[in-house]
Every structure is written in C-alpha cells, then in structure tokens.
Chains A and B, each alone.
Chain A
Amino acid sequence: MIVGKREAWTGRVFLVLLMAFTIVPFISLFVTALHPSGSYPSGLEWPSEPRWGNFADAFRAAHMGDLLWSSTLIVLGVVPVSLVLATMAGFALGHLRMAGRHLVFLMFVLGLTLPFEGIITPLYYLVRDMGLLNTRWAIILPLIGLFMPFAVYWMRAHFINLPDDLSEAAQLDGANVWQLFWRVHVPLAAPAISSLAILLFLWTWNQFLLAIVLVDDPAKRTMAGALGAFQGQWGTDIPLLCAGSLLILAPTLIVFLIFQRRFVSALLQGSVKG
C-alpha cells in the first residue's frame, strides 16, 4: 500500500514524541544520579563535575550483589515449578479433558482478576504459621499459587488447540500418558512455555507487595522489594536514590534488551491470550 508522505511524517513525529515521553524520565534519573550525594539538583541539569562514584556508592549501599543473588534464587524457585505445574494442569484441562474440568477451570478463572492485596493479610498469617516469615520461601510458595490461574489459563489455551490425532497415534505405539506428556507434548509446547517463562520471570522479579509484607530483610527480597527498602532507607538522598534505582533497574533492562523480541510478543500475547 502506498503511504501518503504527510501521513508518514505525522506518524514519525508521533512515534518520536512517544519515545521521548518514555525515555526522558530515565534520562532525568541518570543525570540526577551524577550530582553530589545529598544535594537537591534541579530537573535536567548536567552537573559541573559528574560523580560517577555515586553508582559505586549505591552499589555498596544497596548490596547489589546480594540482591541479584536473592532475586535469582527466588526466580529459580518460582518459575520452573510454576511452569511444570501449569503445563501439567493445562494438559489435563485442555487435552485430557477429564470429567469436572469445567469446575476446575472455573476455579482458576476465579483467580485471574484477583488483586494480591485481597489476600495479603491471611497470607501473612499463613506464612507466619508455617514458620517461613523472612525466608525466601515466603515469597516463592505464595507466588507459585498466585501465578497458577494465569499460567494454567495460558497453557490450557495452548493444549486446547492441539489436534487429538497426535496423542492417539502415540498411544497406539504403546506410550502411557506420562511418557506421552513429556516426550510429545512438552516439546511441542516449548514456544508457549518459554513465553510463559518470560512473563513469570518478569512478574517474580518485579513483585513488590509480597516482598515488603512477608520479608523484612532486603537481602532476601525480590529486586522490586529491595528497591522499596532502598528508598525507605536512602529516599532522602536524591542522587544516591537515583543511582540505586538505575542499578536495580539495570538487570531487567539488560535481560529485556537481549530477549526483546520474545518479551514484546510474550507481553502482547499475555494480554490478548485467553
């Protein structure tokens, strides 16, 4: 289709404006991070002597090494287990279609719109009574449960579109359901599973509410929770806070830029799917 010149130019202008609107806040954050620690710089103002050392200070003050390790452990605790559980359940609901599947599915759907704040109070007492408060398990276990509605929904949508002939053929070869699942269906579901993995990684890494309620020690929290603690402690020192925020942002940004294609399509599908 031929695009009108004028139309193309307005399009470009809008795009650039949209990008500027997105990026400028980060630039402001960056420039502010270079001002002397403890000062109140104004808006976008390049400092006379950029203090690159602020990043090193923030790295130390935020215990970035510990935080990265902690978030990684939490992600490793949440994501693989969630994927396995959700894939199995999605397989059962979408492909095995056992009796009573509508009720089960409906129970999961019930959780799709649940705001986490709705159950944070009982979760606190539940986790406390399990003796898990202030451990990473306090974030990991509830998150697995909380991710189930979406994850099962997502995997069911994959399996329900799968033709049955496939399984029928494999079954004739004498494979039992367990083998069938792992040898045939999981490999076939790889794209759906990997997109789900990306989404779950992101939501775990950025989880805030559970982290601040269930874990006091920032070194055992998720990145977002740790950033909350960093603000709670250093919020009064604007340049240091900006430097720390950028450092804490960096890992997700880097992962995002590396896997950006998958990310964008996963996020878009994540919204539309279902």
Chain B
Amino acid sequence: MTSPSTGPKPGPGPAGAPGRGRRPGLRPGAPAGLRTRWWVGWAFAAPALAAYAVFVLWPMVLTAQYSLYQWNGIGPSTWVGLDNYGRVFTDPELLDTILNAIRLIVFFSVIPVLLGLAIAATIRRIAASRLAVVARTVVFVPQVIPLVAAGITWSWLLSSDGLVNQLLSAIGLGGVTRAWLGDLSTALPAVGVIGAWVQLGLCTLLLLAGMSRIDPALYEAARLDGAGPLREFFSVTVPSLRQEIGVCVTVTVISALASFDIIYISTQGGPGNSTMVPGLEIFYQAFSDREIGVASALAVVLMALVLLCVLPVQRLTRERP
C-alpha cells in the first residue's frame, strides 16, 4: 500500500477474492442478497463501472490498439502488426528495462521481506512495549511521504559528498566510496536500496501483525519439542505467516516492476541506461521520442509481466479454505 505511482495494491488479490469472507451456510443457495428488482444492483454499481470503464478499461483497450501501430502522436498512423512487440523483445535497450525491473525485485521485495521477517521475529516479544508503539509510527513514515521525496532524499545521501560515503569513510572504508547513483555497477543496487528503505517498514509491521495472531500454543509445543529459536522460526513462524508473506511479496513485487517515481527523480534511467525500467522507458518513448506504438507495446508487456509475477504468488500463498 505504498507506492503512489502505481496506486492501490491488492491484498491477496484476484484469486483469493471471490467468496472469501462469505459465510457459507448463512444463505445457502440464495442468489441475491435482497429482494429487489434485478436492475437495482446494476444501478448502484453503474457509476463506479462507468468511471472505471472510461478511465481504465477503455485506455487499456487503446494501449493494446496503439501497440499495433506506428504513430508519432500527431500525424496519421501506420499498421505494423506485431513489429513493436518484436522490438521490445529484440532491442537490447528495451529488453534491458524489463530485466532491470526484475532485478529490482531483489531490492524492493526479497530484501524487505527477509529482513522484515528477521526483524519482526526479533521484536515480536516486545511488540507491546512503548518503544514498539513509537517505532510503529516512525517506520511508517516512508510509506506516507511521496516516493519523489524519498528519491530526492536518497539521491543526496548516496551522492559523492553524501552521508553514506561519510559513514563509510568514518569506519575506514574510504576506499569504496563513490557516487553510488553515478556508477554503472552500483546505480541499480543504489536505486534498489531506496526501494528497500520505502518497503522495509511496511513489511516489518505487516509481518509483526501476522505474528501476533499466531497461537502461542504452537510456540510452546515447539519449545517442548526442544526447538531452538531458529527451528521455531522456520517450523512455526514462517508457515503461519504464509498469507502475510504473500501480501508483502505481492505489494512489493508490483512496486518493483512498476517503479517510476524514484528512478525518474534519482537517475533518469542512467548512467548508461543501467537503471532504465519499463515505466520510465514508456514515458520517454511516448512523450519524448513520440514512439507511441513502441511505448504501448512495452506497456502491454509490463501489464502482462505484473500479472505473470503476481498470480503464482497468490496461488502459492492463498489460504486454503
């Protein structure tokens, strides 16, 4: 629930949704909740549907349509079939953006989830203390501020004169200091660190909330079996948190694949295209290079890629009824 650029993220999402929360047996076999005329429900849903259809569904159709044409946004367009998709998958410049987005998953998703798990497990026992209550507020701040602001802040921290290098020099690592966002080999990880910073607090708190719902009896049973903290973690905590982990992964993976704000602000895709991601490339292709067709083909690929990554996660972590 974090990245303003991509807006709302689903929870357990599509597959888990239908029927969840419904109480079987309450109204067995009843097709409609209330005795109303058939069109009343549609009338209630219609305004939302209309807004959604005009500003989301229709543009989705248009994106797919644009992707089959060569068009500069001004003059007439030419039908090119699947050529634009061919370019997306063969032009290294475009293909690399997709690979970069996938690499970002490590930082936006894997690290915050793993680190969040470790931290949550460590602070689980003092989750009710006053310090923890304060911490709940503090670690949420990155979720609340615009990602643009996170980008600006960290661009400064990671610059050659920034705090990160200052700290490294202070602990005797002056040799590795560099302009982290300006170095071909470190720019992508550096952008990733910004994402990790944004996501870590949310993941930690989500997982902590999940842990507080785990039945203490499970832990006691494990201790009686002679399990140490480590085995306890893997045999009790992690399995019980399957759903929360699924949520964290879903939200953060989407924010990695659809990243735009942070990169637009901190590197503009450079140096040497090393941090170019699909979102930014779409923006450049569509509005600077006026290659509406290529931009749209990449957009379709991006939307498909998000679904492709999110659906398996849903499937794996869904709560079995």
Complex: chain A residue closest to B134, CB-CB: A19
A sample of 5 cross-chain residue pairs with beta-carbon separation below 8 angstroms, ordered by A number, consists of A99-B38, A118-B282, A146-B56, A151-B8, A248-B146
Complex: chain A residue closest to B293, CB-CB: A121
Binary contact track B1-25/A, C-beta < 8 Å → 1, others 0: 1101111111111101110011100
The 9 lowest CB-CB distance pairs between A and B, nearest first, are: A98-B41, A145-B55, A150-B8, A115-B258, A206-B4, A43-B166, A274-B11, A122-B62, A89-B48
Q: Decide: A121 near B286, CB < 8 A? Known: A89-B49, A181-B44.
A: yes
Q: How distant is A188 from chain B, measured CB to nearest CB, in Å?
A: 15
| CA–CA, A168 and B36, complex, Å | 11
Does A118 lie within 8 Å of B303, measured CB to CB?
yes
Stretch at the interface among B83-91, B102-110, B181-189, B260-268: B260-268
Which residue from B43, B51, B124, B138 sits with its C-beta under 8 Å from A23? Answer: B138
Does B59 lie within 8 Å of A25, measured CB to CB?
no
Q: Is the interface of B mostly helix, strand, loop or mixed?
A: helix
Q: Decide: A14 near B13, CB < 8 A? Known: A209-B5, A242-B156, A264-B140.
A: no
Q: Decide: A116 near B6, CB < 8 A? Known: A249-B149, A268-B206, A271-B206.
A: yes
Number of A-B contacts (CB under 8 A): 398
With a cutoff of 8 Å between Cβ atoms, the chain B residues found around residue A40 in the complex are 161
Residue ranges of A at the interface with B (Cβ–Cβ < 8 Å): 1, 3-4, 7-8, 10-12, 14-16, 18-19, 21-26, 28-29, 32, 40-44, 84-86, 88-89, 91-102, 104-105, 107-126, 141-142, 144-153, 157, 160-161, 163-164, 167-168, 171, 177, 181, 199, 202-203, 205-209, 212-213, 223-224, 227-228, 231, 238, 241-242, 245, 248-249, 252-253, 256-257, 260, 263-264, 267-268, 270-274
With a cutoff of 8 Å between Cβ atoms, the chain B residues found around residue A164 in the complex are 26-27, 33-34
With a cutoff of 8 Å between Cβ atoms, the chain A residues found around residue B300 in the complex are 118
| CA–CA, A208 and B250, complex, Å | 21
Q: How distant is B278 from chain A, measured CB to nearest CB, in Å?
A: 7
| CA–CA, A25 and B156, complex, Å | 9
With a cutoff of 8 Å between Cβ atoms, the chain B residues found around residue A268 in the complex are 1, 205-206, 209
With a cutoff of 8 Å between Cβ atoms, the chain A residues found around residue B11 in the complex are 270-274
With a cutoff of 8 Å between Cβ atoms, the chain A residues found around residue B143 in the complex are 267
| CA–CA, A117 and B156, complex, Å | 26
Does B126 lie within 8 Å of A11, measured CB to CB?
yes
Q: Is B78 an interface residue (CB 8 A)?
A: no
Does A121 lie within 8 Å of B63, measured CB to CB?
yes
Q: How distant is B152 from chain A, measured CB to nearest CB, in Å?
A: 5
Q: Decide: A163 near B34, CB < 8 A? Known: A14-B123, A112-B9, A145-B54.
A: no
With a cutoff of 8 Å between Cβ atoms, the chain B residues found around residue A23 in the complex are 138, 141
Residue ranges of B at the interface with A (Cβ–Cβ < 8 Å): 1-2, 4-14, 16-18, 21-23, 26-27, 31-36, 38-45, 47-49, 51-60, 62-63, 66, 73, 119, 122-126, 129, 131-132, 134-149, 152-154, 156-157, 161-167, 197, 200-202, 204-206, 209, 216, 243-244, 247-248, 251, 254, 257-258, 260-261, 264-265, 278-279, 282-283, 286-287, 292, 295-296, 299-300, 302-303, 306-307, 310
Does A223 lie within 8 Å of B132, measured CB to CB?
no
Does A95 lie within 8 Å of B34, measured CB to CB?
yes
With a cutoff of 8 Å between Cβ atoms, the chain A residues found around residue B258 in the complex are 115-117
Complex: chain A residue closest to B300, CB-CB: A118
With a cutoff of 8 Å between Cβ atoms, the chain B residues found around residue A206 in the complex are 4, 145-148
Q: Decide: A86 near B40, CB < 8 A? Known: A119-B60, A171-B34, A228-B264.
A: no
- 20 other contacts beyond A23-B141, A40-B161, A271-B9, with CB at 8 A cut-off? A15-B126, A24-B163, A25-B153, A25-B154, A25-B157, A26-B141, A28-B156, A86-B48, A93-B45, A96-B34, A96-B44, A123-B59, A145-B54, A153-B10, A177-B34, A224-B261, A267-B2, A271-B11, A271-B206, A274-B13
